Structure 1
Amino acid sequence: MTTHDPIPARLAALKTAPTPELKAQWRELFESEPPPFNRRYLESRLAYRIQELAYGGLKPETVRRLERLGEELDGGDRTKRSARADMMPIAGTRLIREWRGCEHIVTVTADGFTWQGRPYKSLSGIARAITGTRWNGWVFFGLKNHRRGG
């Protein structure tokens, strides 16, 4: 007797589900409000979570190894690490901002951002290059509302 695995069908359904349905699934699977990122981000995180719940997550030794690597990167500041992971758009995302009649396109990379063919570690550096003044890059590119703080 063969058993039917419903997970592949659930994953395929993410591609055609309306965005409000993706957000509802997020609330159910993560027990939190969905982040304000693009549809592709929601789909990929939901797909991972569905598989994680069905088949199990990472092995404990893998989690420990990742935590050690994270500590090497940020000195063990878990708050900074989790905020960065939750806030950062996925690599390949394009951020578009018009400034004084000129459209600026920034691409998110695995280790930062690129703008006009040059790598940058922060969005604030790009915003400063565009405007000539100090800006919070997340606010400048519309990823964070400076009045709400998130």
Structure 2
Amino acid sequence: MTKEDPVYARVAALKIKTPTELREIWRDLMGTEPPPFTRRYLETRLSYRIQELAYGGLKPETRKRLEELAEKWDGDNSAKRRIRHDLKPIAGTRLIREWQGEEYVVTVTSDGYEWQGRPYQSLSAIARAITGTRWNGPVFFGLNNYRKRK
């Protein structure tokens, strides 16, 4: 894509569009209502779509291979595919948190977490069980700095 390319110009123009204009472009290009996400999200997805329409999308073989890999790693669980595994600590990691004078130890497993011998899907569920109130699990267990370093 060169600066003389009209596709380049369309992608570059997204930066100066208002959020309302971006949502209108989304409706035109995607044929759906835009999701309630950030401007950056809309810009990146629209940029890809503009290029996809101009130059073509993924080859059928590539799509098939990606689906095979997703099936291999996540089975038929599409919700599991959306989990950001790069933000989760390595399996076997022990998370230790002191709360109201008591120490709590959670072990990271390959498919979630374990606390007091019970499996959990999220740290938030464990934090809620410990405190009795809603907490963001990664915040409760002090993983903010871990995420920022990534």
CA offset digits 1:22-52 (Å, max 9, x no partner): 0001111110011111110000000000000
* Aligned equivalent of 1:129: 127
Measure the CA separation in 1 of the matches of 2:127 and 2:68.
35
Measure the CA separation in 2 of the matches of 1:71 and 1:133.
37
Runs of 4 or more above 6 Å deviation: 120-123
Q: 1:31 to 1:69 in 2, by over 3 A?
A: same
* Aligned equivalent of 1:49: 49
Kept in 2, the 8 Å contact 1:113–1:123? The answer is no
* Aligned equivalent of 1:111: 86
Letter in structure 2 aligned against 1:42: L
CA offset digits 1:111-149 (Å, max 9, x no partner): 3468xxx8x879952475388347596xxxxxxxxxxxx
When the two chains are superposed, the root-mean-square deviation of aligned CA atoms in Å is 3.3
CA offset digits 1:101-120 (Å, max 9, x no partner): xxxxxxxx563468xxx8x8
* Aligned equivalent of 2:7: 7
Letter in structure 1 aligned against 2:8: P
Q: Structure 1 length as normaliser, TM-score?
A: 0.56
Kept in 1, the 8 Å contact 2:124–2:135? The answer is no
Measure the CA separation in 2 of the matches of 1:21 and 1:62.
32
Pairwise CA distance, 1:69: 1.0
SS at match of 2:16: coil
* Aligned equivalent of 1:18: 18
- Say how many residue pairs are matched: 105
Percent identity, aligned pairs only, is: 50
* Aligned equivalent of 1:92: none
Gaps of 5+ in 2: 90-94, 96-107, 113-119, 137-150
Measure the CA separation in 2 of the matches of 1:125 and 1:15.
37
Q: 1:77 to 1:128 in 2, by over 3 A?
A: closer
Task: Tell me which structure has the larger Cα radius of gyration.
Answer: 2
Q: 1:60 to 1:135 in 2, by over 3 A?
A: farther
* Aligned equivalent of 1:28: 28
* Aligned equivalent of 2:70: 70
Measure the CA separation in 2 of the matches of 1:70 and 1:134.
35
